[in-house]
Amino acid sequence: MAQLKRVVPAVSGSESPVGRRLEEQAARTSDNVALLAPGRSASTSRPPVPWSRRAGDAGVGLEHSVSALRARTGRTVRSITLLTGLFTPGGAERVLTVLANHWAERGVQVSALAIGDTGEPPFFPLHPDIEVRALGLETDKGGLVRGATNNAWRVARLRAELQRLAPDVVISFQHRTNVLTLLASLGLGIPVIVSERSDPALRDAGWTWTLLRRVMYHSAHAVVCQGDRICDYFTGRIQRKIRVIPNPVINPDAEALSVRRSSADGRGSRLVVALGSLRPVKGFDLLITAFASVAASHPTWRLVIWGDGESRAELGAQVVRLGMTDRILLPGVTQEPSRRLAEADVFVMPSRVEGFPNALCEAMALGLPVVATDVGAVSEIVRRGIDGVLVPPDDSGALAAAMRQLMDSGADRRRLGNRAQSIVKRYSVERVMGMWDELLANAVGRQPRVSSPSEMRASRSRV
């Protein structure tokens, strides 16, 4: 469990149900930041604002303002442990990096436990004060008995780390990691917040993990989903623990915006761009089929799909089979996703399953017209016909028709792209992090303080 090399920080800072929740949250953000930054006091005093997943829910809401909570408990969040993978350029990894850097910059002690271990530093830059430990707890293989044995070992290892760190709060991403974390934390008195990063109704987790998720999520302090549709998968008492928190959308950097402006000024060739891991759930096979069907009537357009993954060889063979090697490119992973998106004229997200897709949000922030499948929280991100085009999943014909519409009309591209940029305000880092800060304030206010092993020994000696 060797500690990895730390890297230099590089994070800068409606009409949907989530948008309305963000409007309500904005008024409370400064109090929450004060609670998460020891030594700072709230600049204003606001009346209590009840908060739950939906109006009328009997969920675990804030019955008092955060300032009142702090006065009653005397608690601040001083340490947070985050659990997920860190070594791949995925959406969950990127969001976790934003969360970790946000809290580290505010003086909170942040530790990140990476379930796997690639031997490389995290893909996205982390604040230098964040402790990163690779646990090497790879996914289970080898059948039911061996898988159960391996998972018992993983839980024991993870429990030892949580006992060592004794954080005020644990936050876990992805359903398998969530289950393992909840098992490992049983009896430790540490509030655990778990987060679903895609729509569980559309992704088969297998009967074992599905059952474990339904049982163990009852012990979570809260279950974070990225959209209302995703939350509807859960039933019973778990519904009362649900919080809807979207992903934060970061302002595009000046260089990417400059590239976008020069691309939009006009050129001979045009680009349709997609970005993501090359896996079946991402639907890039549908995109290739759809583009091939409109390519002949749009000879100046090309398709570029950035990313890598298990489907790369199959997708490459599909391009060759369709005779599109000069029109469809699969260049691999990019270290400059914003710049690659900024070079596009149209962005397409053809996914079969999604949560709150970061690439789609980033494309909209750059002012790109987008075509996206209506899955996960996408219909809360893209307002149909206002700032993007939504199509049904698994429908290459509808995908082709939507692309043809935008490829044919520069006016439509400009209209949708200009309106899409409002996503930066709707899901700003400050507003979304305010929702996370409020949830953490609620967690520490409802839990007894967790003592480290050394503090427990000192307490016993005083008795």
Tens of pLDDT, residue by residue over 287-306, are 999 999 999 999 999 999 99
Q: Looking at residue 349, what DSSP letter applies?
A: E
Please state, in angstroms and rounded to a whole number, the distance separating the CA atoms of residues 183 and 181: 5
pLDDT band at 114 (very low <50, low <70, confident <90, very high): confident
**N- to C-terminal Cα separation, the chain:** 35
Q: Which two tokens stand for residue 224?
A: 């974070």
Instruction: Return d(Cα 369, Cα 422) in angstroms, integer.
Output: 12
The model's pTM is 0.71
Give SS3 for 301: strand
Token pair in block for residue 90 = 């995925």
- Span 210-260, pLDDT tens digits: 888 889 999 999 999 888 878 888 888 888 899 999 999 988 776 666 666
> Could you report the per-residue pLDDT of 366-388, keeping only the tens digit for each?
999 999 999 988 999 999 989 99
The residue with greater pLDDT, 63 or 108, is: 108
User: Under CATH, what is the fold of the domain 17-248+427-447?
Assistant: Rossmann fold (3.40.50)
- Please state, in angstroms and rounded to a whole number, the distance separating the CA atoms of residues 67 and 9: 30
What span, in angstroms and rounded, lies between the C-alpha atoms of 321 and 8? 44
Cα-only R_g, the chain? 23
CATH assignment of 254-425, given 2.60.40.10, 3.20.20.70, 3.40.50.2000, 3.40.50.10680? 3.40.50.2000
What whole-number percentage of the chain has pLDDT above 70?
Answer: 72
Cβ neighbors of 270 (< 8 A, separation 6 or more) are 298, 300, 301, 302, 345, 346, 407
What residues contact residue 388 under an 8 Å CB cut-off, 6+ apart? 364, 369, 370, 371, 372, 382, 416, 420
Percent of the chain predicted with pLDDT > 90: 47
CB atoms within 10 A of CB 430: 14
Please list the alpha-helical segments (H only) found in 343-395: 358-365, 378-381
Question: Which two three-digit tokens encode residue 367?
Answer: 């002012």
Q: Where in the chain is the domain with CATH 3.40.50.2000?
A: 17-248+427-447, 254-425
The first and second tokens of residue 132, run together, are 């990163």
Which residue from 157, 163, 203, 197 is spatially nearest to 180, judged by alpha carbons? 157
- Torsion over CA: 66, 67, 68, 72 (sign): positive
Comparison of pLDDT for 45 and 290, the residue scoring more: 290
How far is residue 339's CA from residue 458's CA, in Å, rounded to a whole number? 54
**What type of residue is 399?**
L
